[in-house]
Structure 1
Amino acid sequence: MDRNRTVAGLDVHKDSIYLCIMGHDEAIIFEKTYGVLTPDLRQMCNDMTARGVTEAAMESTAVYWVPVWNELCGSMELKLVNPYFIKQLPGRKSDIKDAQWIAECLLKNLIRGSFVPETIVQDMRKLNRRIMDLNEDLTYNTNKLDAALQRCGFRLSNYVSRIKGKSYQSVLSCIIDGERDPGKLIAKVHGRTINKHGRQTIMAAVTGCFSDTDIIIFRQTKAVIDLIEAQMAECQKELTALCGKHFPQQYRRLQTIPGVKERAATAIIAETGVDMKMFATAASLVGWCGLKPRNDVSNGRYKSRKVTHGNRYLREILIEIAWVASRTRNCFFSNFSYVQTTVKKKSRMKIQVAIARKILVAIWHMLSKEQDFIDIYLKRLEQQRLLEEQLKSFESKMA
């Protein structure tokens, strides 16, 4: 143990921070409780630097650790710790003892810091997670609007593929503008839908009883949906601009993966960054994301094989990519999905998780080695084609 080492443990709460500074001989040098306002944080930083603190650790308590981290990161080495890994044994517990325990674990090198990306990636994370939150709001309000229309006898959503589709939205706009005639409303529906279900069925589906109150609700809900879509577009535009400015090569490289376009590439960079040094292996990144099946075996019996907890934002976007990649023709992921689900009769949902894990492993290698995606399936097809051409050439010469 370094005899010149002075460390600090911070127990962070919503309205208070408990500080414990500990020396190399595990002697407590300083203890104090601080507030969470910016002047309090600056005073705490000054007190820590005045006492020679070079390392500090804190638990990742909700979002309350973020301003503390931002205030201290320029003055000392910081570690953000998952509370799960430094839980004390039950017994005498207090906030001061928690701070002491964190400092003691840090002093004895028992703490492994969590991944905290650089400032620009943190800003990109804010935009990416804002888009995901807005997308949840969009789904909620879209379903509420359809439910309000269903109460009025409007059943077009039963016969179209998407509520956000052109036919549904065109008919909705006409209803909000005051149109009630089913003959005019059906003119806004795509001909393929009419041919598939029959004109009389679709005409009955767009016939409803709408009061003035219903129209007000429709108009207001649609305005909320339009506002959410505008905000999502604004966030995505800014996120794409940041990727293009700071990580242009990685942004282009990720889009060589089947199923990855602008939205997915920006989300991946926002959640993982581009520096893979924090993840020693691809398995470390997979475990951090939460796509690694847990190992829970007792007496030779598997109790659980569910995936672990991790970065749910990255996991969500990877599962979406997996669904698209499994439907992309002539690529490794679609071939893998076909073999596993059709030939081996495995669960389609589980296979999507497996594909998401394979995509994340590919991302780790691409960002670590600065290489584009290489599709093994296409490479094998090309090798097979070349062998067939060589065989035909050899046979023609022998003839």
Structure 2
Amino acid sequence: MAKKKRKYRKLERSLPVMRPNAGGIDIGATEIFVAVPADRDTESVRSFPTFTQDLHALADWLQQCRVDTVAMESTGVYWIPLFQILEARGIEVHLVNAQHVHHVPGRKSDVLDCQWLQYLHSVGLLRASFRPEHAVCEIRSLMRHRENLVQMACVHVQHMHKSLDQMNLQIHHVISDITGVTGLAIVDAIVAGNTNPKELAKLRDHRIKASIETVTKSLVGDYRPEHIFTLKQSLTAYRHYQKLIADCDQEVQQRVEAFQSNDDGPTAAADSSSATSPTVPSFDLHSHLERIFGVDLTAIPGFDVLRIQTIFSELGADMSPFPTDDTFCSWLNVCPKDGTSAGRRIRTPKVKTKNRVTQAFRMAALSLHNNKSYLGD
């Protein structure tokens, strides 16, 4: 149920109304403030708790007030449940950037955020943030979760390194990856109780460049029970996250396989056995991405499967929300700011962004430093 109503100052309008049925929503962790046009209800501003039944009550009230579009401002992920409920009700939802809202001049200090949002949205001064289609949002949520799992697994690899350092075992400096075939075989033997350097060195894979003598020297150390215990716990935690990553890959694979292709022609079945990197899902994502986009985007210098995967999971395959390359670059925040004032070039601050697609493009550009292709020359 809605909380007890309070009286709020009515906002005076000075610009022509473009969206007469617009509402404004300011979302917090425990309370949501909603504003509708002043002529739709005796109380044009109401507050609701964030429980699910209250979100539905909020949607009911908006429909009773004949509101068909709302502007929503929120931090974190608090907006997602209400966004989905309103979208299912057929209400057009504009998730707006708080920075854009605060840069609009003319706001009075005694006007609530939701009232200001409602006014700006009604006069057409707000721009909706990009949100891909529902199928892409599902994949995006899973891929972001997978990214977190990979980061947590890496933390436990660092803990394994720390335990080895405390015993002065230099094996992780001799081989390139402690989580590879040789590294895990040696760590498994150590936690099982084998501390003989010569016996441990026999577990060296033939592809290791370091000689068996070097590997043996790197395994001579001060084997202490407490450090072996922490090594065992870190190894167990690492493998636990590897299991979670594999489970997440299965969920991603199901949704990617069901994703509609841009290419209407026949496509060969994807091989689910190839994985080029621990950070790339274990199934053959490359073939699926080629099917979805209708072209092999990894043929572009600098773009590997990992970067194309990031672009797909954040944008999808439909680029129609960006009518030109200029609008796309603006959304990426890679366009330089116009630092010209009175005919002089002034210093402009660098635009900071956490956009994952922007990061993928920047990494692709950095990888071209020594590239011999037409983009690297």
1:43-54 to structure 2, matched below 5 A, reads: 43-54=57-68
**Which residue pairs with 2:167 in the alignment?**
152
User: In the alignment, is residue 62 of structure 1 matched against residue 76 of structure 2?
Assistant: yes
Residue correspondence of structure 1 range 280-291 to structure 2 within 5 A: 280-291=323-334
Which has the larger helix fraction? 1
Equivalent pair of 1:268/1:314 in contact (CA under 8 Å) = yes
Could you say which residue in structure 2 is the equivalent of 1:239? 252
Change (3 A) 1:223 1:118: same
Kept in 1: contact 2:339–2:345 (CA 8 A): no
Aligned-partner SS, 1:213: helix
Q: Residues 268-294 of structure 1, C-alpha deviation per residue, up to 9 Å, x if partnerless?
A: 222102221211222322332344444
Alignment match, 1:268: 311
Q: Does 1:300 align with 2:345?
A: yes
* Rounded Cα–Cα distance in structure 2 between residues aligned with 1:104 and 1:27: 16
Q: Within 5 A, what are the aligned runs for 1:378-389?
A: none
Matches within 5 A, 1:336-355: 336=374, 338-339=376-377
1:335 aligns to what?
373
Q: Assess, with a 3 A threshold, how the Cα gap between structure 1 residues 37 and 190 changes in structure 2: closer, same or farther.
A: same
Secondary structure of the corresponding residue to residue 120 of structure 2: helix
Residue 216 (structure 1) aligns with: 229
**Relative to structure 1, is the Cα distance of residues 224 and 321 closer, same or farther in structure 2, using a 3 angstrom cutoff?**
farther
Structure 2, unpaired ranges of 5+: 1-15, 264-288
What SS does the corresponding residue of 1:9 show, helix, strand or coil? strand
Taking only the aligned residue pairs, the percentage that are identical comes to 20
Cα separation, partners in 2 of 1:16 and 1:190, compared to 1, 3 Å: same
Residues 1:117 and 1:324: Cα distance change in structure 2 (over 3 Å): same
Q: Are the structure 2 counterparts of residues 174 and 290 from structure 1 closer, same or farther at C-alpha, using a change threshold of 3 Å? A: farther
Note the C-alpha offset of 1:303: 4.5
Give, in angstroms, the shift of residue 156 of structure 1.
1.1
Measured in 1, the distance between the counterparts of 2:375 and 2:203 equals 38
1:109 is displaced (CA, Å) by 0.6
- Structure 1: how far apart are the matches of 2:340 and 2:75? 31
Give the secondary structure class of the aligned counterpart of 1:276: coil
Question: CA offset at residue 14 of structure 1?
Answer: 0.7
Give deviations 1:266-325, integer Å, cap 9, x for gaps. 432221022212112223223323444445456325445x464152x3344445556777
Q: 1:5 to 1:29 in 2, by over 3 A?
A: farther
What's the secondary structure of 1:279's corresponding residue? coil
The one-letter code of the counterpart of 1:257 is: T
Deviations 1:336-395 (A, max 9, x none): 4642xxxxxxxxxxxxxxxxxxxxxxxxxxxxxxxxxxxxxxxxxxxxxxxxxxxxxxxx
Gaps of 5+ in 1: 328-332, 340-399
2:147 alignment partner in structure 1: 132
Q: Evaluate the alpha carbon distance shift between residue 153 and residue 2 of structure 1 in structure 2; reply closer, same or farther with a 3 A threshold.
A: closer
> Which residue of structure 1 lines up, in the alignment, with residue 203 of structure 2?
188
Would the alpha carbon gap of residues 89 and 247 (structure 1) be closer, same or farther in structure 2, given more than 3 Å must change?
same
**Rounded Cα–Cα distance in structure 2 between residues aligned with 1:260 and 1:134:** 23
1:254 and 1:325, CA in 2 relative to 1: closer, same or farther beyond 3 A?
Answer: farther
CA–CA separation in structure 1 for the residues paired with 2:218 and 2:106: 62
Could you tell me whether the CA contact under 8 Å between 2:297 and 2:308 is conserved in 1?
A: no
CA distance in 2, matches of 1:109, 1:300: 32
TM-score for the superposition, normalised by structure 1: 0.73
The code of the aligned residue for 1:58 comes to M
* Count of aligned pairs: 328
Whether 1:77 aligns to 2:92 is: yes
Quick one: distance in 2 between partners of 1:256 and 1:91? 46
Give the superposition deviation at 1:207: 1.2
**Which residue number in structure 2 is paired with residue 161 of structure 1?**
176
Residues 239 and 266 in structure 1, CA contact (< 8 A), matched pair in contact too:
no
Alignment of 1:19 onto 2:34: yes
224-233 or 85-94: bigger deviation: 85-94
The structure-2 alpha-carbon separation of the partners of 1:168 and 1:162, relative to structure 1 and needing over 3 Å to count, comes to same
SS at match of 1:121: helix
Q: Separation in 2 of the partners of 1:229 and 1:291? A: 35
Q: Summarize deviations over 1:85-105 as a string: whole Å, max 9, x none.
A: 1106598546x5211111111
Q: CA deviation at 1:212?
A: 2.4
- Measure the CA separation in 2 of the matches of 1:90 and 1:141: 52
Q: Is residue 295 of structure 2 the alignment partner of residue 257 of structure 1?
A: no
Is the deviation greater in 294-303 or in 28-37? 294-303
Shift, 1:191, TM fit: 4.7
TM-score normalised according to structure 2 size: 0.77
Which is further off, 74-83 or 201-210?
A: 201-210
- Return closer, same or farther for 1:76/1:147 CA change in 2, 3 Å cut-off: same
For residues 275 and 268 of structure 1, the distance between their equivalents in structure 2, rounded to whole angstroms, comes to 11
Shift of 1:125: 0.9
SS of the residue corresponding to residue 216 of structure 2 reads helix
Aligned to 1:172: 187
Q: Is the 8 A contact 1:296 1:303 kept in 2?
A: yes
Aligned-residue offset at 1:75: 3.2
User: What is the DSSP-based 3-state SS (H/G/I as helix, E as strand, rest coil) of the residue aligned with 2:150?
Assistant: helix
Of 27-36 and 57-66, the range deviating more from structure 2 = 27-36
Contact 1:22 1:29 in 2 (8 A): no
The answer to whether structure 1 residue 309 and structure 2 residue 322 are counterparts is: no
